[in-house]
């Protein structure tokens, strides 16, 4: 008689912005429609989101990955863009431009600005980023998800990814710019020479993060950027150790399909840290827990089945399945495959 899959009471996901949010949306769809083995509509999902993309602009604290997850799961996202509010208008940006206020390359939508105003006011009143996030989520997550979805920043401390790029005008031949300037102004069109995560060594995990990793039934690394999303979360002192130590299985899904990322700039930042841009190399970069890494299993796209032997040699359970998040059913199937890969090791 086939054994039933272990019940999933809790799942913890370490997420960036667009890739992570789309995956979690598919995971929730899968849990609610019975597509995920062992899952149910009551399975609690805790999202630990990257905050190293955060920055201050026009006096406002902006947290792109937290907001992308919050708006996506709260059905407020602009689906086409993948970030920001649906039905957005841009009057404030136009007015700021008319005043000649820099930077003009980072547009804040009018609806989105309300979120940043609430966040900034609360931070300035002394609330932590975790408390602010919980308050914002009462609007976006509670009505649709009740208590089943919790969004946590990776840390309440200021941690910022900066990118070194070649700059012939600088005496050192390079300059170091905020991640947002690299991504939004330069469109990641020049090589990233180095990734510097400012403030990371002194940061501590936000309340609830270590508990969510230690006390879960499954940890998932979604197809988020392995360097500037998942990498920065794991780099907060204590988080990598918690992932290594959790009794729960840890599985990930490759954001690299074929020779590059699906969207974004993972290829540029992987190259800057000396990791080959392939699904197999990223799995090996995270590494097997049995070999000092953070993963037990790693899913690659069907097109990357040639990477499986290399991953198994690195001590990982690996499988090739379709990994394109083209619609909620396809994404739910990815989540189901991740759960199946996790439970395969428990047989
Ligand atoms: P960001 O913070 O908005 O950049 O989002 P994430 O870090 O969460 O995710 C970015 C990653 O998602 C990129 O490296 C993409 O390659 C990956 N990604 C986006 N769509 C897909 C998809 O459909 N399938 C896979 N496998 N990866 C995807
Ligand atoms: Ca991001």
DSSP 277-322: SSHHHHHHHH-BGGGTSSBSEEEEEGGGGGGHHHHHHTT-EEEEE-
Pocket test for ligand 1, best of 83, 223, 301, 327 (most atoms within 8 A of CB): 223
Residue from 175, 160, 131 nearest 65 by CA? 160
pLDDT in tens, 304-331: 999 999 999 999 999 999 999 999 999 9
Confidence of residue 263 (pLDDT cuts 50, 70, 90): confident
Q: Is 13 helix (H, G, I), strand (E, B) or coil?
A: strand
Q: How much distance in Å is there from the Cα of 300 to the middle of ligand 2? A: 21
Cα first-last separation, the chain: 14
Residue 229 alpha carbon, nearest atom of ligand 1? 7
Question: Is the pLDDT score of 5 beyond 90?
Answer: no
Question: Is the pLDDT score of 2 beyond 90?
Answer: no
pLDDT in tens, 95-114: 999 999 999 999 899 999 99
Residue from 133, 170, 166 nearest 150 by CA? 133
Q: Percentage of the chain with pLDDT > 90?
A: 95
Ligand 1 pocket, residue 179 CB under 6 Å: no
- B/e letters for 160-182, b = 16+ CB within 10 Å, e = fewer, are bbbbbbeeeeeeeeebbbbbbbb
The residues, any chain, with a CB within 8 Å of residue 136's CB and separated by 6 or more, are 70, 115, 118, 119
Q: How much distance in Å is there from the Cα of 224 to the middle of ligand 1? A: 5
Q: Write out the H or E segment, with its range, that includes residue 115.
A: helix 110-124
Q: Compute the distance between CA of residue 337 and CA of residue 344 in angstroms, rounded to an integer.
A: 10
Q: Atom 26 in ligand 1: which residue has the minimum CA distance?
A: 255
Q: Name the packing angle between helices 129-140 and 64-73 (round to 10°).
A: 20
256-257 and 260-261: which strand pairing? antiparallel
Q: Write out the H or E segment, with its range, that includes residue 52.
A: none
Q: How much distance in Å is there from the Cα of 228 to the middle of ligand 2? A: 7
What is the per-residue pLDDT for 259?
Answer: 85
Q: How much distance in Å is there from the Cα of 264 to the middle of ligand 1? A: 7
Q: Compute the distance between CA of residue 338 and CA of residue 306 in angstroms, rounded to an integer.
A: 19
The residues, any chain, with a CB within 8 Å of residue 212's CB and separated by 6 or more, are 10, 12, 46, 48, 150, 152
Would you say the pTM of this structure is higher than 0.85?
A: yes
């Amino acid at each position: 008689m086939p054994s039933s899959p272990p019940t999933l009471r809790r799942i913890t996901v370490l997420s960036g912005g667009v890739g992570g949010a789309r995956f979690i949306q598919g995971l929730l769809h899968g849990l609610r429609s019975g597509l995920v083995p062992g899952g149910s509509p009551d399975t609690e999902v805790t999202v630990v989101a990257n905050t190293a993309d955060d920055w201050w602009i026009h006096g406002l604290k902006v947290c792109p990955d937290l907001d992308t997850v919050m708006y996506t799961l709260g059905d407020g996202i602009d689906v086409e863009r993948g970030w920001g509010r649906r039905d957005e208008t841009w009057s404030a940006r136009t007015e700021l431009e008319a005043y000649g206020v820099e930077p003009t390359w980072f547009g804040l939508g009018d609806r989105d600005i309300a979120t940043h105003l609430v966040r900034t006011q609360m931070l300035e009143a002394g609330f932590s980023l975790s408390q602010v996030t919980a308050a914002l989520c009462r609007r976006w997550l509670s009505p649709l998800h009740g208590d089943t979805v919790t969004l946590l920043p990776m840390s309440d401390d200021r941690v910022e990814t900066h990118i070194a790029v070649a700059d012939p005008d600088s005496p050192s031949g390079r300059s170091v710019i905020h991640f947002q300037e690299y991504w939004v102004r330069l469109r990641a069109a020049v090589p990233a020479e180095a990734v510097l995560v400012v403030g990371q060594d002194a940061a501590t995990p936000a309340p609830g993060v270590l508990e969510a990793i230690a006390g879960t039934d499954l940890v998932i690394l979604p197809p988020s950027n392995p360097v500037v999303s998942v990498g920065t979360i794991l780099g907060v002192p204590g988080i990598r150790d918690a992932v290594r130590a959790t009794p729960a299985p840890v599985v990930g899904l490759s954001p690299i399909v074929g020779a590059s990322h699906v969207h974004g700039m993972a290829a540029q930042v992987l190259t800057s840290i000396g990791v080959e841009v392939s699904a197999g190399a990223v799995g090996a970069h995270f590494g097997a827990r049995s070999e000092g890494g953070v993963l037990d299993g790693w899913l690659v796209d069907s097109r990357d089945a040639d990477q499986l032997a290399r991953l198994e040699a690195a001590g990982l359970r690996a499988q090739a399945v379709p990994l394109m998040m083209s619609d909620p059913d396809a994404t739910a199937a990815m989540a189901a495959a991740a759960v199946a890969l996790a439970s395969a090791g428990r047989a």
